Amino acid sequence: MSHFSQYIQSLAAFSEDKQQEIRWLFDSLVNSLAIAERNAQNQRHASAATSLRHAKNLMRFLQRSFQDLPDPQLVSHLNDFFAMLERSMDQSMQLPLEEDLQELRLLVCDLQKGWETLLMPSTSGPSSSVPSQSELSEGLLA
């Protein structure tokens, strides 16, 4: 069995155990950030800060959920990402700006999409028919 196959299998095993928990944490974190964003938009800074504190707690649980991933390098990159998010949340708690909160929410959404893409089974092989250069160009022009 190749190293890549072993890697995918170990990720799949990790995912089976924690998939529901991680999905719930992502959804809850995005929801809290959206509420904070809406509160900042309506100039309710105290409410936005409360939602951010809740989001920060959810983010820590999410980060903790990723600590058992079988790839130490991926865990390290995720830890760096979460540290950046935490610094941004701390700054936003002092002065919640709608644009900053929107950016945080979109970053978390991108991480969630990346996580779900990483877990997609990669069992399909390359396509047997490769489109010609003219077919590719037609697709771009359509």
Entry pTM? 0.77
Residue 140 confidence (pLDDT) above 80: no
What stretches of 1-132 show up as alpha helix (H) in DSSP? 3-41, 45-66, 72-94, 98-119
Residue 139 confidence (pLDDT) above 80: no
Quote the CA–CA distance of 9 and 101 in Å, as a whole number.
36
Residue 124 confidence (pLDDT) above 80: no
All domains of the chain in start order, with CATH: 7-121 (1.20.120.340)
Residue 77 confidence (pLDDT) above 60: yes
Total Cβ atoms within 10 A of residue 26? 21
